[in-house]
Structure 1
């Protein structure tokens, strides 16, 4: 039968360690149409083909149609219901308090709902407004137009490691000389900035959604706060009015409730925004008139560029809880095996050389350690990397580590 030895409590210890992995997201994964998946979640009727749009888009590390592709993060935009971007576009309020908008204001209630959902998730109430800093009280701290980036658990693991997040983003839109108005679908080539959570350890706080730190402009980390990073949730909340030049003129083709083709080469059901009108801006005009897909297409295709360089990076953290069990074996213990093959038919030890049975001591090779409960039920088996010899001249201390 098996030989058991009780392990005292002093030889059982609990420990904790952390594993960090670097995550790099290249520009082309964000800007590419084959790696950025859209969903037909919003469909309108009315004139023409109507507007079809996602409520969010998912960026993958490869062509999302391939089984090997992994979703890296979801990205979407939201509007605070009390901001002037929303209130100036409201035409009336119905009996239930729902805002009503004109047909030129696209997906406004959906953008408001997205903002409210993130407020509920991170701040504990759908009615609370995001701020940067998160506990700020000044008017300039309010985030009215937000960009939400939700990293998938596969990449954030237990949390994002503080002071490792960085994002390269073009704050200004491209201006094309031969077509100066159409900058909505042209990749930006200048005005890039690095947004990071550097220094967040000193200012980190804990709210309803867990630990949160500031995202700042790396060129001016003290005075230029642009958003917040929720480490345990793996969510970045960015103020669009601070990470992009909202007052810059915008022009391009967007989806609209229209049964005409507004420009040469433009499909039916679209409109040209800002053409011939220099007063049309990214904020608030694009945020009001464009669908979520049109806004995200511009942000992902134009503001992150389309090369092979890194667009975002961070380190994740995996918390490893361990139990260390020290199995101590004295020199006179476990030198004999209960395996039936250990002896032959005459009870002679098979491990001994013939003719020297009286002079050679028995020995064994440890290959595994079994852990049992008080009722001799096998709970776990630990395997050694190689067999270890045990004889009466050797004592051993085997460390068994259980990670969970």
Structure 2
């Protein structure tokens, strides 16, 4: 396909989405909810074709040497499909934010001013190899009256086509136009550039994936962007920690699903908690984690011959591994842990494990991140876990949206002014 043909193809889908958005933006919540339930049923009805398409994607990914931790993000199972369906059903149960009056002002001249939630219009979703994003993004967009243009990664192309086909089959019996859900089924990098520069058609771009993808979108977009989720996340185990809690939290944060953005990448340990360190390193290594540590970490573990680890470099502390690799840094006080996070963190999710309330409150107040935890795993930074039904991404910026983005974050607002003939 030539560059001209590619541009025409991408823009045609975006323009079709824009036309659908005008209908969808004023649609009653009941109609949107019925459509979402039909989409969920259609996913299950079409599960065999979805799994067959996904199996081809997984086979090709393995042939291309993609690491198993990344393949884990690609694989669809019955449980994962059911979770995606449940996400749609939970969205149905949530209140529709569109049309909500945020503020009412009555002026002395009699003007009645209302600040009301409205859809953005057309949302472009640029993401990599997680097919669940296809369903989550479509569901959240439609509930909030937005049309969505999906551009997933080439590794999941067959899976995404099958998922979108199933969802649109569900939409066919609803009042929502089929054109409200669009998939860019081209894998050329230029298709992303065309979409994120279509400022007269697309209203918002949300990139979701690795640092390279997000940076490329930010640097090249002409459409407003909400920056999401590179997650160089930390857990700090304080000297006053309950070490049984600490062990459970650290193992969960690192090993429960290491390929996601809210997994822990660096463990910070107070030097007075050094006696706990060999046990947690042993437990991590038993679970296949490659551990890299600072000189102090190596000294503490040096007394235990079976716990040989490599030295952690500056690059290690700055890396989002998305893999069974962990950096460890021993610190002398909570302030040093906060300084380390300030230097290397990505403003995503950070946790402290301690029974010292003063240390916890200092950490919670001073650490600059979208989600800050006391005695809980960073793995909870997730729209589903926060009760949002699903999420379209985790924003690490501060304007408009921060943290897991659910329904409200996918709306803007406008002012509606009612008068009786006033002039200025």
TM-score, length basis structure 2: 0.20
Larger Rg computed on CA atoms: 1
Decide which structure has greater strand share: 1
Specify which structure has the higher proportion of helix: 2
Length-normalised TM-score, structure 1: 0.21
